[in-house]
Amino acid sequence: MTAPVLPAGDPASIERAAAVLRDGGLVAFPTETVYGLGACAFDARAVARVFEVKARPVFDPLIVHLHDAVELPRVVDAAEDPRVARLAARFWPGPLTLVLPRRPGVPDIVTAGLDTVGVRVPAHPAARALLHAAGPLAAPSANPFGYVSPTTAAHVAERLGGHVDLVLDGGPCTVGVESTIVSLAGDAAVLLRPGGVPLEELEAELGRPVALAERGSRPVAPGQLDRHYATRTPLRVLDGPAADAPPGGQRVGLLAFGPTSARGYAAVEVLAPDGRLATAAAQLFAALRRLDALPLDAIHAEPCPPEGLGLAIRDRLRRAAARG
């Protein structure tokens, strides 16, 4: 059976989704970053099903989504940390996740047994309505583990429609890459994942540089596995703007950053016709999926500038290209 897909803007859909969640069910819902696969954060059995449905390793913790920062004391122990109030006031609701010391009541399965928990307040109106009715929700991106994240309800339904109880359709995600994850568990803020809030803006708000997590520094960022966001088709990140397609019989797809005059590709996706990083981020996952649906031997991706949202795009492409 495939899950019903309901319009997220209809209050009746939100009510039905909230009832499903309260009964221990799973609801896929839109956020401004990507679609999430939600379960009640305090219902360990429902959360366990999230891991099952995604085929996600249980050492990879989930983010807890809140309707409002005033709910923080329900899940974290951070009342004394002035950085939290500051970042919450500036970036919430929005694409920022804070990793903070957890409260004992948060189920172990949510945090993968860590003494910290990731929390965020999403901005999408449907997510907010759902969280108001049935939050807090533990929610990873609504894709099978390791595959490209979903930015439309159709992406969710295609891969997980048979395994979830309800899908809320709130249209395409406007940010298009996942939230920026910052750990405030220690004295120095550490960037665990670049995402929808640019690093420069975080540093400006905190008034100091944010350290970058060392690659492969598990268990600090247990989910930051190298091979992730992977397409079925092998993907390679080019060193610079694309030249003409390589000679030979291969069918190569091009993921161009901006308008391109490169020739000979079997298919071309232009992420940002306007050259803006925000446009490229919003298009990234849908474009990758379209290329991946074609009979191609390889996908070549142009790099984008390493600034602003470009950091998140480069991170996702690097992981998509990682082998093994």
Q: Which residues bind Mg ion (CB under 5 A)?
A: 141
In whole angstroms, give the CA distance from residue 185 to residue 259.
Answer: 42
Q: How far is the CB of 80 from Mg ion (least distance, A)?
A: 31
Q: According to the binding rule CB under 6 A, does residue 31 interact with ligand TXA? A: yes
In whole angstroms, give the CA distance from residue 155 to residue 284.
Answer: 13
Q: How far is the CB of 250 from ligand TXA (least distance, A)?
A: 32
Q: Name the helix (H) or strand (E) containing 279.
A: helix 277-292
Q: According to the binding rule CB under 6 A, does residue 61 interact with ligand TXA? A: yes
Size of the site for ligand TXA (CB under 6 A): 28
Supply the DSSP symbol for 319.
Answer: H
Position closest to Mg ion via CB? 141
* 281 neighbors 309 (Cβ within 8 angstroms): yes
Q: How far is the CB of 59 from ligand TXA (least distance, A)?
A: 9
In 3D, which of 238, 235, 40 has the Cα closest to residue 139? 40
Q: According to the binding rule CB under 6 A, does residue 87 interact with ligand TXA? A: no
Give the bridge partners for 38, in sequence order.
27
Q: How far is the CB of 180 from ligand TXA (least distance, A)?
A: 8
* 2 neighbors 161 (Cβ within 8 angstroms): yes
- Tokens 């990234």 correspond to 284
Q: How far is the CB of 319 from Mg ion (least distance, A)?
A: 10
315 is in the binding site of which of Mg ion, ligand TXA, none (Cβ under 5 to 8 A by kind)?
none
Contact range with ligand TXA by CB under 6 A, out of 154-162, 176-184, 249-257, 298-306: 176-184
Position closest to ligand TXA via CB? 223
Q: What is the dihedral of CA 120, 122, 123, 129, to 10 degrees?
A: -130
Residue 273 is which amino acid?
P
Pick 152 or 179: Cβ nearer ligand TXA: 179
Q: According to the binding rule CB under 6 A, does residue 63 interact with ligand TXA? A: yes
* 193 neighbors 203 (Cβ within 8 angstroms): no
Q: How far is the CB of 116 from ligand TXA (least distance, A)?
A: 4
Q: According to the binding rule CB under 6 A, does residue 126 interact with ligand TXA? A: no
DSSP assignment of 54-105, as one string? HT--TTSPPEEE-SSGGGHHHHB--TT-HHHHHHHHHH-SSSEEEEEEBPTT
Q: Which of 14, 25, 109, 111 binds ligand TXA (CB under 6 A)?
A: 111
Contact range with ligand TXA by CB under 6 A, out of 204-212, 221-229, 250-258, 308-316: 221-229
Supply the DSSP symbol for 240.
Answer: S
Residue 288 is which amino acid?
L
Q: According to the binding rule CB under 6 A, does residue 174 interact with ligand TXA? A: no
Contact range with ligand TXA by CB under 6 A, out of 43-51, 173-181, 265-273, 295-303: 173-181
CA 69 vs CA 79, 121, 204: distances in Å: 11, 7, 21
Pick 14 or 288: Cβ nearer Mg ion: 288
DSSP assignment of 175-236, as one string? S-SPPEEEE-SSSS-EEEE--SS-HHHHHHHHTSPPEEPPTT-TTTSTT--SS-SB-SS-EE
Q: Which of 13, 151, 174, 179 binds ligand TXA (CB under 6 A)?
A: 179
Q: According to the binding rule CB under 6 A, does residue 152 interact with ligand TXA? A: no
Pick 31 or 141: Cβ nearer Mg ion: 141
Q: Which of 76, 91, 141, 283 binds ligand TXA (CB under 6 A)?
A: 141
What are the residues binding ligand TXA (CB under 6 A)?
31, 33-34, 36, 60-63, 95, 97, 99, 111, 114, 116-118, 122, 139-141, 178-179, 181, 192, 221-224
